[in-house]
């Protein structure tokens, strides 16, 4: 597992959100950071899940925050809108924000994912069904998708997967820490799939150092007055 201070990561994510208030075209929708979870709370969550939390996710909730809900929308105009077209040509606005948990909802996320894998088209797609049934979802999105851990190869420090409810699911990063580091470098974009997928590199994971990612960072930094 990559060495990552989860408390500092949460603090930087919150600070990034607050700073965006000064960016023309940016609207902050939420900037909520909960306290870390206690040991008894995490044990209760694991009991409800019927499984232990992988090390990285457990440490995030124990050291970083039991729930993180930062969200922004960026709606540029004029020359800045033209800059956005060089990053995501089909979008005239982008949104994002660091979001994980709440830890207390993990069992509900897991139940919803199992139900979807059993009752929809995923049930007829063995590879997709295997991913969904094995997954440990830690973020539910409004569109019915999830960001999850995929413990099939490494149950201790699993890969991070995007579970797409109406299309093929895919991996985002080899471990949680790597996902968080890349996501921070991508300005916490999305994490809806149509925003993040263009940043998947040749490795099959998010590439936060590719030219496209650098243009994204320049877009937001150059929008400051």
Read off the pTM: 0.95
Using omega within 30 degrees of 0 as the cis cutoff, is the peptide bond preceding 73 cis? no
Query: 42 phi and psi, to 5 degrees?
Result: -70, -40
Write the DSSP symbol of residue 73: E
215 assigned to some structural domain = yes
| Tens-digit pLDDT profile for residues 196-206 | 999 999 999 99
Q: How many residues does the chain have?
A: 225
Q: According to DSSP H, which parts of the chain are helical?
A: 6-19, 39-49, 55-59, 78-87, 106-119, 126-134, 176-185, 193-196, 211-221
- 1 occurs within a structural domain: no
| Residue 224 confidence (pLDDT) above 70 | no
Instruction: Write out the residue range of the structural domain in which residue 164 sits.
Output: 6-221
Closest CA to 158 of 185, 183, 138: 138
Mean pLDDT of 92-115: 97
Residue 81 to residue 28: CA distance in whole angstroms: 19
Establish if 37 belongs to a structural domain.
yes
Q: Name every residue whose Cβ is closer than 8 Å to that of residue 97 and which is 6 or more positions away in sequence.
A: 17, 29, 30, 69, 70, 71, 72, 188
How high is the pLDDT of residue 2?
61
Tokens coding 192:
């809806």
Question: What digits encode the pLDDT tens for the residues 8-43?
Answer: 999 999 999 999 998 999 999 999 999 999 999 999
For the chain, helix, strand, coil in percent to 5 are 45, 20, 35
Check residue 200 and report its DSSP letter. Answer: B
Cα–Cα distance for residue pair 78/87, rounded to 1 Å: 15
Q: Where residue 86 falls among pLDDT bands split at 50, 70, 90?
A: very high
Q: For residue 48, is it within any domain?
A: yes
Count the Cβ atoms, other than its own, within 10 Å of residue 80.
17
Whether residue 163 is contained in a domain is answered as: yes
Q: Look up the CATH number of the domain holding residue 214.
A: 3.40.1580.10
Structure tokens that stand for 186 in this block? 């991508």
pLDDT at 225: 39
Provide the number of structural domains found in the chain.
Answer: 1
Q: For the segment 152-193, what is each residue's pLDDT rounded down to a tens digit?
A: 999 999 999 999 999 999 999 999 999 999 999 999 999 999
């Amino acid at each position: 597992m990559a060495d990552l201070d989860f408390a500092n990561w949460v603090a930087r994510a919150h600070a990034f959100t607050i700073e965006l208030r000064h960016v023309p075209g940016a609207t902050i929708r939420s900037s909520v950071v909960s306290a870390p979870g206690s040991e008894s709370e995490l044990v209760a969550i694991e009991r409800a899940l019927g499984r232990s939390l992988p090390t990285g996710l457990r440490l995030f909730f124990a050291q970083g925050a039991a729930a993180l809900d930062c969200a922004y929308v960026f709606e540029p105009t004029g020359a800045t809108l033209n800059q956005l077209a060089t990053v995501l040509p089909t979008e005239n606005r982008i949104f994002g924000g660091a979001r994980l948990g709440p830890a207390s909802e993990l069992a509900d996320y897991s139940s919803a994912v199992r139900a979807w894998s059993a009752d929809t088209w995923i049930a007829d797609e063995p590879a997709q069904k295997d991913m969904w049934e094995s997954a440990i979802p830690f973020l539910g999105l409004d569109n019915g998708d999830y960001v999850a851990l995929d413990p099939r190869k490494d149950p201790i420090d699993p890969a991070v997967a995007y579970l797409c409810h109406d299309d093929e699911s895919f991996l985002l990063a080899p471990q949680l820490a790597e996902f968080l580091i890349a996501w921070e470098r991508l300005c916490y974009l999305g994490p809806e799939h149509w925003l993040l997928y263009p940043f998947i590199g040749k490795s099959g994971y998010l590439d936060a150092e590719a030219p496209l990612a650098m243009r994204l960072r320049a877009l937001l930094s150059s929008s400051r007055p």
